[in-house]
Each structure stands twice: as C-alpha cells, then as structure tokens.
C-alpha cells in the first residue's frame, strides 16, 4: 500500500485501540512500531523504539513541564484554592449570581497558578458547588460554571498544552504562553458577563445570598491579604517571561520555589504535603512524556512514509480558501474532544496537521491559541467531556450528568463567540507577543 493509505490505516488503528481503553502512549507507540516494521524491517522498528524516547526526553524545552506541574501541585496542596474562593466570594457576592461569578474568577486565578483545567475544576468543585447549592442556585449553573471555568487554565500561563504545542510546532514557547493571556482573560470576562445577564433576567437561577461576618469591609481586605502571594507568583512568572528575563523552565522553577517558601511561611505546608505535591508532579510528567514518546514515533512514521507530502497535495485545492481548512480542523478537534483527553488530542493531531499549517502559511502562534481553545471546548462536550466528569465525580449522584452538560451549554456559546473573535481579529492573540518582541 502507498504511504497515505498506510498512514490512514495506522491512524484508524490508533483510534480503535484508544476506543478499547488502550493507553494513548501505548496505542501510538505500538502502531508506529508495526508501521516501521511493515515499511522496513524489525531492526529498524526496534531502533526507532530505542532512540526516540531518549531524544524526546533530552529536549531541554520539555523541562518546563515538570516545573510548571510542581508549582501547580504545591499551590494546590497548600490550600490556596479555598483562600481564593473565599476572597472572591466576599468581594463579588452582592452581584447577580455572585457566587457563580466568584467561582469563575477564583477558577481563573487558580488556573494561573496550576496550569491544569482538571485540577482547577476539581478544586473549585469541592469548594464552590456546595456553597452555591446551599444558597439555592440552579444546579446546571452551579456545576456548569465550575466545569467551564477550569478550562481557562490551558490558556493563561503556565500552560502545559502550550508548551507541548510549541515543541511540536517548533515555535517560540514564550510567545505562545504570552499569547494566551488576552484570550484567557476574554474567556473569563465573557463567562462573567453571561452569568450576570442570565441571573439579572432570571433571578430564580441564583437567589441573593448574604455573608454573615461582623465587619465585611475588614474581612474583604483580610481575604486579599491571604492570597497576595499567589498574585506575586503569577505576576512574577508572567512578567519574567514577558520581559525575557527568564526561560519557561526558569520561570517554572522560580515559581515552584517561591510557592514553596510562601506555603511554609504561611504555615500551609507540611512534609507530607510536599511529598504529595512532588509525587503528583512526577506522576503527571511521566504520563505526559510517555504519550509524547508515542506521538514522536507516529510523527516520524508519517514523515518516513511520505504521507505528509501526499496529504499536502490532496488538500491543495482547499488552499484558495484557508478558512475551509481551518473549519475542517476545528470540526476534527471538537469531535476528538468528545472522546479523548487534551494532551492525547494534541499529540495525535499535530503530526497530521502541522505540515498543512506550515504549507498554508498560518501563523503558528495564533493557531496554537485556537488549538488550545478547541481542545478545551472538547472537555465540555458530550458524551465524554473530561471536565464534566470531574465535576460529576465531585457532586456524586446528587446531580445528574445531563444537568451538568446542560449547564455548560451556555458557556460553550461564549467559547464559540471568543473563537469567532480570535479568528476575525488575530491581533487579540498576537498583540502581546509582537509587543514583547
């Protein structure tokens, strides 16, 4: 069979293995190994399996991933999420849907420290959803805001998805991380505006709730004093990247050290919590790298078989209208997002799409922001929206899965509006990187 046919067979084989619950890294690696064996011989396939993991793991840019993960783990185990939600609740509870707005803002703030949408959804789910349900909030709104706001973590630095995209796209990781700031803030603002409008038009969605404290003004400033270290950490990481003072790896390492020192000074860190944070960062790093090994093997197989060049020729008639190519890729990401985890989606699609993007002349930083946004939308879409199931795990049998999916529908409408703006006005993503450079 020709290279394109072989690549399509391999891609279908990968998806079939994933459908039967084979780990993504194993599926990519096994299919790629068989592909090399078919094209050449067993020794060549074995050589690829031996060499690729070393060269992938030796990439210095990847060292940013464990540093960002460690920073997020330390912030998570130190209990900063509860302080964030309490501060947001004190300042925003008087607004229509104030608790939902507070959950949204707190999730965005926590996202800027942890870089994981799943961690943000899980942390805020335990804190915010019980409070909203206790105040009489509509169940779809209470769960939908937590599941949706967690996705902001993939846009606002530090973002693991941005780092992985930058490596596969061979473009500046710093530019990508900075490019996600405005879209991330726009997403948080759009969610807030939607909550305010809905709750103003239909007060039954979120009955007014009062906070019983002796001196509200004093408690508000006291709550802000409890979260100032996180603000310093986030601004330090973003500021260091923006000014070019530090690399992503140095920013992650410095942020991890600062987060640890702050947690110790505030009495939030114990030795057992530190061990828990390190274990979590190491385990997640290993999972990401294992998927990466398989993805690099799959990329090399596509290149070796000549499928990339053949695919360029096949799609060439669409080049007169790049918007059609963009729409086709969007549909693929949204469909895959219904079934796969974000990192798996990126590492499966990048080997296929990257040659097309380069041949059509798309700005890879701008498209990187779109890819991350597409993938995060997929984490909210049925039947297997990742963040929805995280929230379902938090609330248990008290709230049906259909109610949570219905609740995130309003937030998906906001996401579609943000994507339309990013496509129509690329400067929303490129303004800060261009200003920085």
List, for residues 154-180, the tens digit of each pLDDT value. Answer: 888 878 888 888 887 888 888 998 999
Closest CA to 358 of 403, 308, 413, 314: 308
Q: What is the pLDDT of residue 32?
A: 86
Q: What is the spatial distance between Cα 87 and Cα 106, in angstroms, rounded to a whole number?
A: 8
Q: What is the spatial distance between Cα 334 and Cα 345, in angstroms, rounded to a whole number?
A: 10
Angle at CA of residue 111, ends 106 and 116, nearest 5°? 135
Q: Residue 313 pLDDT > 70, yes or no? A: no
Q: Residue 283 pLDDT > 80, yes or no? A: yes
**Mean per-residue pLDDT of the chain:** 82
Average pLDDT (6-20) is 79
Q: Are 103 and 145 in contact (CB under 8 A)?
A: yes
Q: What is the spatial distance between Cα 90 and Cα 131, in angstroms, rounded to a whole number?
A: 13
Closest CA to 377 of 352, 342, 349, 350: 342
pLDDT tens track for 343-397: 777 777 777 777 777 777 788 999 899 988 988 888 888 766 778 888 888 888 8
Q: What is the spatial distance between Cα 338 and Cα 359, in angstroms, rounded to a whole number?
A: 28
Q: Residue 411 pLDDT > 90, yes or no? A: yes
Helix (H) or strand (E) holding 279: helix 271-305
Report residue 152's pLDDT band, with 50, 70 and 90 as the boundaries: confident
DSSP 152: G
Instruction: Give φ, ψ of 238 to 5 degrees.
Output: -65, -40
Q: What is the pLDDT of residue 312?
A: 56
Q: What is the pLDDT of residue 144?
A: 92
Closest CA to 73 of 114, 37, 103, 33: 114
Q: What is the spatial distance between Cα 149 and Cα 389, in angstroms, rounded to a whole number?
A: 14
Report residue 79's pLDDT band, with 50, 70 and 90 as the boundaries: confident
SS3 116: coil
Q: What is the spatial distance between Cα 45 and Cα 62, in angstroms, rounded to a whole number?
A: 25
Annotate 35-49 with DSSP letters as a single string: HHHHHS-HHHHHHHH
Average pLDDT (318-324) is 66
Name the one residue in this structure whose structure tokens are 């499966």.
348
Percent residues over pLDDT 70 in the chain: 92
List C-alpha distances in Å: 26 to 18, 207, 427.
9, 49, 39
**CA-atom Rg of the chain in angstroms:** 22
Q: Are 421 and 186 in contact (CB under 8 A)?
A: yes
DSSP 379: T
* Tokens linked to 376: 């995060």
Q: What is the spatial distance between Cα 173 and Cα 177, in angstroms, rounded to a whole number?
A: 6
Q: Residue 4 pLDDT > 80, yes or no? A: no
Q: What is the pLDDT of residue 361?
A: 76
Report residue 427's pLDDT band, with 50, 70 and 90 as the boundaries: very high
Report residue 339's pLDDT band, with 50, 70 and 90 as the boundaries: low
Q: What is the pLDDT of residue 414?
A: 94
Q: What is the pLDDT of residue 248?
A: 85
Average pLDDT (55-69) is 80
Burial category of 257 from C-beta neighbours within 10 Å (exposed 0-12, middle 13-18, buried 19 and up): middle
List C-alpha distances in Å: 288 to 34, 205, 231, 282, 310.
22, 40, 28, 10, 30
pLDDT tens track for 287-297: 878 877 887 78
Q: Which range (17-31, 40-54, 261-275) has the least confidence? A: 17-31
Average pLDDT (183-210) is 90
């Amino acid at each position: 069979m020709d290279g394109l046919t072989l690549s399509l067979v391999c891609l279908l084989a990968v998806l079939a293995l994933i459908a039967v619950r084979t780990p993504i890294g194993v599926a990519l690696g096994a299919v790629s190994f068989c592909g090399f064996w078919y094209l050449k011989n067993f020794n060549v396939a074995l050589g690829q399996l031996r060499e690729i993991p070393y060269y992938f793991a030796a990439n210095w840019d990847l060292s940013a991933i464990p540093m960002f993960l460690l920073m997020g783990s330390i912030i998570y185990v130190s209990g900063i999420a509860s302080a964030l939600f309490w501060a947001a609740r004190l300042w925003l509870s008087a607004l229509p849907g104030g608790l939902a707005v507070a959950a949204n803002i707190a999730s965005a703030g926590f996202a800027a420290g942890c870089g994981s949408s799943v961690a943000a959804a899980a942390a805020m789910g335990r804190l915010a959803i019980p409070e909203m349900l206790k105040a009489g909030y509509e169940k779809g709104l209470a769960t939908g805001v937590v599941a949706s706001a967690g996705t902001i973590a993939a846009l606002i630095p530090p973002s693991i998805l941005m780092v992985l995209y930058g490596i596969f796209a061979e473009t500046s990781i710093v530019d990508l991380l900075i490019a996600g700031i405005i879209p991330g803030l726009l997403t948080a603002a759009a969610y807030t505006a939607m909550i305010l409008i809905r709750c103003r038009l239909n007060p039954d969605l979120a009955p007014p709730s009062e906070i019983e404290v002796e001196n509200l003004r004093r408690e508000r400033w006291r709550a802000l004093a409890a979260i100032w270290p996180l603000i310093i950490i986030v601004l330090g990481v973003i500021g260091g990247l923006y000014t070019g003072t530090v690399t992503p790896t140095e920013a992650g390492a410095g942020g991890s050290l600062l987060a640890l020192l702050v947690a110790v000074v505030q009495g939030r860190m114990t030795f057992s919590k530190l061990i828990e944070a390190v274990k979590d960062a190491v385990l997640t790093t290993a999972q990401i790298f294992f998927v990466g090994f398989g993805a690099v093997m799959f990329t090399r197989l596509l290149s070796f078989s000549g499928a990339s060049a053949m695919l360029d020729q096949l799609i060439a008639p669409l080049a007169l209208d790049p918007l059609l190519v963009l729409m086709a890729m969007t549909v693929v990401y949204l469909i895959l997002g219904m079934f796969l985890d974000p990192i798996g989606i990126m590492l499966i699609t990048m080997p296929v799409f990257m040659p097309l993007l380069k041949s059509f002349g798309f700005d890879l930083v701008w498209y990187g922001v779109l890819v991350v946004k597409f993938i995060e939308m997929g984490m909210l879409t049925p039947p297997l929206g990742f963040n929805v199931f995280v929230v379902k795990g938090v609330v248990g049998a008290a709230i049906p899965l259909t109610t949570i999916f219905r609740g995130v529908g309003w937030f998906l409408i906001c996401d579609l509006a943000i994507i339309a703006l990013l496509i129509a006005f690329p400067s929303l993503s490129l303004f800060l990187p261009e200003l920085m450079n």
